[in-house]
Structure 1
């Protein structure tokens, strides 16, 4: 990606205000902070000089375009370097008239007055007068140029048109090519929007936001109040107010369905006297279905996602009520999932309050479409049993054909990649990095689902005594987990992770023991507020983004396929890696019995766990290479 040339930059009124201050002798640092701090820190003298040189060059170019070569030369002159009467600045001399009155020479001839004026003030008065005239001429030229060349920022303008080339390049690389895209990202992510822009920190981000606020009338879009406050300081109602309900791409709770499409009179509605639900439209019927999954949050989210996508498609794309769908319509929807329009798609981690939220990340794979079909069959099956619908259109849809691959195939870290990630985690220097690394290590070590780790509390950790492989008594830790389908299991946890958790509790002023009575309800992953504030658990979204941040840090020090793989990795890859690495040890590792891995992962069937029994690619090639070499293939 190439940086646009300097000539592509535009001049705004702040450039002219800064240069007027410079011409009049005002401190350049103060003027920079007032008008141009978006360009960077005034302590960077090289950058300030470069910006001043660019502005003078841009002013001169504008004058030449208007056939004003004299003005072009004039604005290139530094008036403050014009010669003065001495080494130190001197006050401006009085005019001749003022001198005559003050010296009592009003009765003398003009020649005598001039001679005496020259004796007292010398030629310096003439030189200073020239500087004053130069300053006045430059100020007039800048005013003329401002009226001619100053522009107001517009929403569709490139960031290269208004920001320092280095800053603009960083924004461009973060997929923020225009001012509109930049404001959308700020409003869609919130106060910490800058964390996804390499090379932009909180100070620079604040300056960008202030500049956008200054020009919001011409841009036509404003930075929302919610984006000026840290998320932790915003209430649920503050976030809910960011995106109003509408008949548009909105989450289920904010989707307004037109009466003609709400299913009140759906084609395949059962007679009203057979309906066991209080729901009188499709939206409420979906809510009734989802309420049956209240005790399974992860399952409920998956079911809500599929029902939400279908209802949005019915309203925005198909123009038909959900309760009017035929088998042909259901089949059309499944084809839609394989090739959705771009405006339906966005990054997975955009939260539901955000205007950047989208129902899809991109086309669904055959496996994902098959899962969606299973869930939709369940939804319509429920509505049939409750007497809301007379049939299930998805029951007749042929599932997409997906190749049978080992569990986690394509979404598992190799052992070498995991060791590299672990090395990066061990180099973490900030508390935030250390917490993210600890979360990733818990996921890998235990094989827990993300929702299970988020729900884990210190009180779920139990100290146990057991005999090690050498027959010696020792102490270990088990984590009590209630997983999918409400199934209870106990999962071993490494002693060092429990010790680190105890240290974190002690550092927060709590009992430095995970089994302390006051720590029973403390989340295993938590942030601790100030005095008087209890621990606050993290969300599934935080966990997902924490893992992504760790993988991105690890990817920066690699190249090629290894780097690409880490950039694709997410929280669930760690669960797959746990199962794969346990069942497929390398030469130095120890194979874990499949029944133990099944219990760790919470699989109901050992057949599911056996899907992890694969040999990693490198090991496959090494083994086969020996065979080929031995048999002279």
Structure 2
């Protein structure tokens, strides 16, 4: 048993800086562990069974500190009940008292004393005379000595622990602070991560899933597993449930499992989970057209929106698979539907011009409970329809899309008017595409030089960055293409020879298919990754055709899942922020603001501009590769470049590379 030094009774075991810090509470595991110690059960097994949340048993400092705190807490509770004797009893170490020697059986005693031929009554009489221990009953029975002081101390301690447990043990409640139930150092880390209560902790776990702990510095996978185990053991008293998805890696969860995380409700949930309440579903909408003349099969406003979204489906996509345009349109209709029911208390088909104006003001200043980070996916309870107030450009786009929605509904005979037609749009921003959202050649070279981490996530990030830059694909396009979309082509070189290259078949906006050239070295890298993870090296073999170019090979599945658009976006944003850390001035500012779409703009500008060793690409080719609807859109990159040259900033860092942070004399030395 671990030796315990009992501290002075009026001294706090865990001093904290804040006097407002809640007192740690005793739970049944503390009592079960101390009963096990008192009875001499295996300490390590008892720790792992009852107090695993406190840390590893191998950490003797934690074990000693925890046992000392538990004993002090027990004694303090007894003193509060005016039981000073019980307080002292709990602090006694039974090992200080010797155990009584074991007595022989009656048969052993008789044999040792030469009494085996005497009657049993005579043997018992001699036994009692020898040991003065009371009667010994039963043929061949075991002698029972008077219990030792150690045994009496243990018995009294167990009785005291049972009494104290019934008196002080509490069940955890959702609003309790984590510091009341968890190890102080662990609780402090959770609090610093914005998780002060058990309720907030469970919400975070359910909202993010199995890797929730990544966002909590100092809490690794093992500590997170212990927390999850404790929360699940207390689900019945907490009345809040940790979802089954929280114990399974995200890549291994099926769409059905994810869909079950958030139930359907009339609340701030995504469009597909939103339940229209009776009376506000639009069946009796104020501005509904006569149902007999309606051209769509829609019994309510939710189904009318679904019909509108379906009308935007491209011919090559499967039913239920939304294009980027459909997702963008759904987002705007979703916000309006939620606001109409939850805030305005009106059916969508009952909205008037005044309501449309109020919604415009709402988007410019939404309440905090409507807002959340973009990276929370639609299956998550932490998903919210907005990130914050819309910029003028985003607000203008939203209102234009909603005008389109009602124009469609009017055309199909569902409603009689368009409330958004009378709402003033914010002015059109006068900014050509990519005017301030492109990178210079030195900036890109700096980024490319940092893409060298040789792990699966590092190689996948490198693949995503280089493919986006080399092809100019949109985020939704790069995450949807597969090996089967790659095709080798032969072309004539400048010297008259024949070489093999690659083209990628992409379905872009409006369902338009285009062929985009891909550098051979990028395909080579992809084939190396396939071979590294046990697949055939050639991208074109039948077994590889369904594998996404942006596959997550670290998922450990037979068919690697694709990297999600949000996952790729967040990874690139985080990487660019790190890349900016070593720079200063405009270069650092550009990289901190940059995103996946900047790489598309950068590709267009760099292709048209050309650089040493690379001739400019004809504008018609760039227009085709980027999938612009009009060559005029592509030509704006030329206008942008000319304007930047006139302003003198066309080559930020071009003469001497990107501008790195200056070092102090002590950091760099002479000549640095």
Q: 1:341 aligns with which of 343, 352, 367?
A: 367
Superposed counterparts of 1:549-564, under 5 Å: 550=575
Distance 1:55 1:495, change over 3 A: farther
Asked if the contact 2:440/2:652 (under 8 Å) is kept, the reply is no
Give the distance between the partners of 2:203 and 2:169, measured in 1 at CA. Answer: 25
Distance 1:159 1:447, change over 3 A: farther
Q: Please name the residue that 1:495 is paired with.
A: 520
Answering whether residue 191 of structure 2 is matched by residue 191 of structure 1, we say no
Q: Deviations over 1:4-39 (max 9, x none)?
A: 678632221111211222233222211111011112
Give the distance between the partners of 2:23 and 2:31, measured in 1 at CA. Answer: 17
Distance 1:471 1:142, change over 3 A: farther
Q: 1:242 aligns with which of 261, 278, 293?
A: 261
Deviation at 1:328, TM superposition (A): 1.8
Deviation at 1:211, TM superposition (A): 0.7
Deviation at 1:562, TM superposition (A): 9.2
Distance 1:59 1:469, change over 3 A: farther
Q: Please name the residue that 1:526 is paired with.
A: 551
Q: Please name the residue that 1:385 is paired with.
A: 411
Superposed counterparts of 1:233-632, under 5 Å: 233-295=252-314, 297-401=323-427, 403-405=429-431, 407=433, 422=448, 425-429=451-455, 431-465=456-490, 475-516=500-541, 518-527=543-552, 533-534=558-559, 536-547=561-572, 550=575, 570-579=595-604, 592=616, 595=619, 597-603=622-628, 604=630, 605-610=633-638, 613=641, 614=644, 615=649, 619=653
Q: Please name the residue that 1:122 is paired with.
A: none
Give the distance between the partners of 2:231 and 2:580, measured in 1 at CA. Answer: 33
Q: Please name the residue that 1:132 is paired with.
A: 151
Asked if the contact 1:4/1:160 (under 8 Å) is kept, the reply is no
Residue aligned with 2:515, SS: strand
Give the distance between the partners of 1:416 and 1:567, measured in 2 at CA. Answer: 16
Residue aligned with 1:480, SS: strand
Distance 1:59 1:584, change over 3 A: farther
Deviation at 1:598, TM superposition (A): 4.3
Distance 1:163 1:529, change over 3 A: closer
Deviation at 1:449, TM superposition (A): 1.0
Q: Deviations over 1:441-461 (max 9, x none)?
A: 322332211211122122332
Deviation at 1:241, TM superposition (A): 3.2
Give the distance between the partners of 1:530 and 1:336, measured in 2 at CA. Answer: 41
Residue aligned with 2:502, SS: strand
Deviation at 1:594, TM superposition (A): 7.7
Answering whether residue 69 of structure 2 is matched by residue 54 of structure 1, we say yes
Distance 1:158 1:531, change over 3 A: closer
CA RMSD of aligned residues (A): 4.3
Deviation at 1:291, TM superposition (A): 0.4
Distance 1:215 1:422, change over 3 A: farther
Give the distance between the partners of 1:511 and 1:57, measured in 2 at CA. Answer: 64
Q: Please name the residue that 2:239 is paired with.
A: 220
Q: Deviations over 1:373-422 (max 9, x none)?
A: 11111111111222222222212211124654464577667777766655
Residue aligned with 1:481, SS: strand
Asked if the contact 2:485/2:504 (under 8 Å) is kept, the reply is yes
Deviation at 1:43, TM superposition (A): 2.1
Give the distance between the partners of 2:353 and 2:131, measured in 1 at CA. Answer: 110
Give the distance between the partners of 2:589 and 2:284, measured in 1 at CA. Answer: 50
Deviation at 1:532, TM superposition (A): 11
Q: Please name the residue that 2:34 is paired with.
A: 19
Residue aligned with 2:383, SS: coil
Deviation at 1:552, TM superposition (A): 7.3
Distance 1:368 1:40, change over 3 A: same
Distance 1:467 1:270, change over 3 A: same
Q: How many pairs are equivalent? A: 604
Distance 1:136 1:391, change over 3 A: same
| More helix, by proportion | 1
Give the distance between the partners of 1:361 and 1:463, measured in 2 at CA. Answer: 42
* 128-137 or 285-294: bigger deviation: 128-137
Distance 1:335 1:590, change over 3 A: farther
Residue aligned with 2:488, SS: strand
Q: Please name the residue that 2:54 is paired with.
A: 39
Distance 1:212 1:517, change over 3 A: closer
Residue aligned with 2:373, SS: coil
Deviation at 1:315, TM superposition (A): 0.8
* 549-558 or 333-342: bigger deviation: 549-558
Q: TM-score, normalised by structure 2?
A: 0.77
Deviation at 1:309, TM superposition (A): 0.8
Asked if the contact 1:245/1:256 (under 8 Å) is kept, the reply is yes
* 486-495 or 607-616: bigger deviation: 607-616
Q: Structure 2 unaligned runs (5+)?
A: 1-15, 114-122, 134-144, 315-321, 660-672
Asked if the contact 2:440/2:654 (under 8 Å) is kept, the reply is no
Give the distance between the partners of 1:559 and 1:147, measured in 2 at CA. Answer: 63
Q: TM-score, normalised by structure 1?
A: 0.81
Q: Deviations over 1:295-347 (max 9, x none)?
A: 17110000011111111111111112222222221111011011112222223
Give the distance between the partners of 1:606 and 1:412, measured in 2 at CA. Answer: 14
Asked if the contact 1:425/1:550 (under 8 Å) is kept, the reply is no
* 310-319 or 11-20: bigger deviation: 11-20
Residue aligned with 1:346, SS: coil
Give the distance between the partners of 1:530 and 1:413, measured in 2 at CA. Answer: 33
Asked if the contact 2:75/2:87 (under 8 Å) is kept, the reply is yes
Answering whether residue 177 of structure 2 is matched by residue 149 of structure 1, we say no
Give the distance between the partners of 1:54 and 1:409, measured in 2 at CA. Answer: 63
